[in-house]
Structure 1
């Protein structure tokens, strides 16, 4: 928004911007979005570029291998993995005039013909021309627009961790998604000596782990799985393992009203199954800025145009991610064998070309039009 000449205020409910957290898988379309902002090279100083994404059974037998390294030749930028905190830090450092207000809890908002007023839980108010709700799957702005609707629970839980380890089976740029009966394990390196991993298992929502039991439970769940699964779990401090119920929403026909709209998970939460959540949030932001820049003083029309374009882009991904998640969650041995046969037959020949065409190639709209990295002087 600043690069387009708009003055933005970010209301962040956290009291401080934390380090650590999960890793992010950023497909080439997301890296092209970062490149458009002039930030891709800074991210690539740390983030490993991937050459092949492997998909395997829990025993280590191959189900597919996607040659994502070819994207660099075709689109000019690789597919990568990066620590969430690293990406957040780079984005934050690119901002001018420190627009982030920490500890700002949104209570409600009202709008009129000239702008939007946000009321905070501490009694304060903030006024702006428009309001963009980018506050996640449990968005307060979304509730104000569309009503209080609980997200959809997928039926499975994710345990995410980061292992600080050098491992002979994890060269730079690794990615492997392993499938078992009702459980999965995915890992990829996000920096030299740092590997993000995720264990996924079916179960009821709302559960909690007893302190001191998580490592034993995860190693028991993945007993007998191919290396380096056990090594990654045992190399991770329990303090760095995060448990969360995996949630999403069905695609919505409406994201906004008047001078208010939604962005990212607030608008279209996409499960991790296709690795496009962060990519789509960045694409949202670029498209929204483009629409506002050419609005000609008609912000409401710009928001509706943004929503129309982005709904068409993200709704199919929400559906695909949901169904891949259901496929990954099967427990019946017959269904597991059917999944393995399906993936061996079609994961390379059909799924990979489809993912490139429907998800990655879109990023070419920004591949030759990098935004200048300098400060802006015009404000709305």
Structure 2
């Protein structure tokens, strides 16, 4: 199909990646976002090899390598500092054909915006209604503007408005059971080796340091808490010191060193796998389609995979837009549902939903030679569209 005009709602990672991919095959793309200023949610993201491969195909391999962190190993420690396992990621890279690149979200969004053209993103455009005809689809915005195209892509995140229009009903977000604090700190040897992902586990909690570009660690803390707990940045350090009292020295140093005003605190939610992603000429993508807990590190990668699959079907099939979108939906429903449910299951295991299972996991880590970890990650990567 040639000369398509595509309207994308949402200028996050998924929307921008899709816009780039669609323009590269010759389509006219317009992106709209409700915000007045683009600010990526969260400080960092683990961009695993399946996501990187799609960016490579888009010609962004060199750019992502420049902003990504050098992550050569994974280390698990007990909360008191005992090294449980230390795994080289080289076998993973050899198995899947591409190294992962942990990256700061701001750097990733800047890279994608530069490629698409920030001037081509229309801000202050909150989509409030969608109308379809046999030949096109129109988005109406709160400010009175409209945008009409051959198809519309809802990449408007976990609180998606487009999703409600596709499904015909609102969806409930499911609280996974824990609160996550995350941010960036300078790489320092008293925190972790510069090329290692260091994870401290115990008491159903986690503290993690992952290298991203420009000499920084992306850090996060996880604590199981009741839904609706609140806090403010002026209490974050005190809060974390209480939750992680008695933990190893690097964890204490991290708490002292983080900047509370640049630290995010988020209740982690997902959404039950949807029954469909498509209605006529409208398709969902990214968190709008499959909002997942971050416990497999695959949320961003799945949005990027969506971009590749959607573009491929639009560009390669000749039975019309609606047929191409249905093929996209058919390929992505099972893949993303599997990610959502496995991430939820892993979250429960990690955060003490069944304390006995969590304790068994701690014990397994003491005897882990790395093969189970590498196999689990590589199987997830290789189930994607680019093997």
Common fold: TM-score over 0.5: yes
Q: Alignment partner for residue 28 of structure 1, among 16, 37, 49?
A: 49
Pair 1:320-2:342 in alignment? yes
Aligned length: 365
8 A Cα contact 1:165 1:235, kept in partner: no
Q: Which residue, 120, 130, 153 being the options, matches 1:132?
A: 153
Aligned position for 2:235: 213
Give the corresponding residue for 1:348. 370
- The answer to whether the Cα contact below 8 Å between 2:209 and 2:218 also exists between their aligned partners in 1 is yes
Moved more, 65-74 or 79-88: 65-74
Residue 266 of structure 2 aligns to a residue whose secondary structure is strand
- Alignment counterpart, residue 42 of structure 1, candidates 51, 56, 63: 63
After superposition, residues 1-380 of structure 1 pair within 5 angstroms as 1-18=22-39, 21-95=42-116, 98-146=119-167, 147-296=169-318, 298-330=320-352, 334-344=356-366, 348-360=370-382, 362=384, 364-365=386-387
- Is the 8 Å Cα contact of residues 24 and 81 (structure 1) preserved in structure 2? yes
- In 2, the alpha carbon distance for the partners of 1:362 and 1:23 equals 22
Matches of 1:363 and 1:164 in 2, distance apart? 35
Q: Deviations over 1:168-225 (max 9, x none)?
A: 4433332122222232112212124321111111112233214521111112211221
Give the whole-Å Cα distance in 2 for the aligned partners of 1:102 and 1:260: 21
How many angstroms apart in 2 are the aligned matches of 1:303 and 1:14?
27
CA contact (8 A) 1:271 1:277 kept: yes
Alignment partners' CA distance in 1, 2:274 and 2:85: 33
For each residue in 1:106-154, what CA deviation from the matched residue of structure 2 results, as whole angstroms up to 9, or x when unmatched? 1121111111111111122111111111111111100111211121111
Gaps of 5+ in 1: 366-380
In 2, Cα distance between equivalents of 1:97 and 1:161: 25
Distance, in Å, in 1 between the alignment partners of 2:376 and 2:232 is: 42
**1-structure distance, mates of 2:86, 2:162:** 40
Q: For 2:253 and 2:214, how far apart are their aligned partners in 1? A: 17
- 2:270 and 2:291 in contact (8 A); partners too: yes
Shift of 1:339: 2.5
21-30 vs 171-180, greater mean Cα deviation: 171-180
Could you tell me how far apart the structure 1 residues matched to 2:66 and 2:360 are? 41
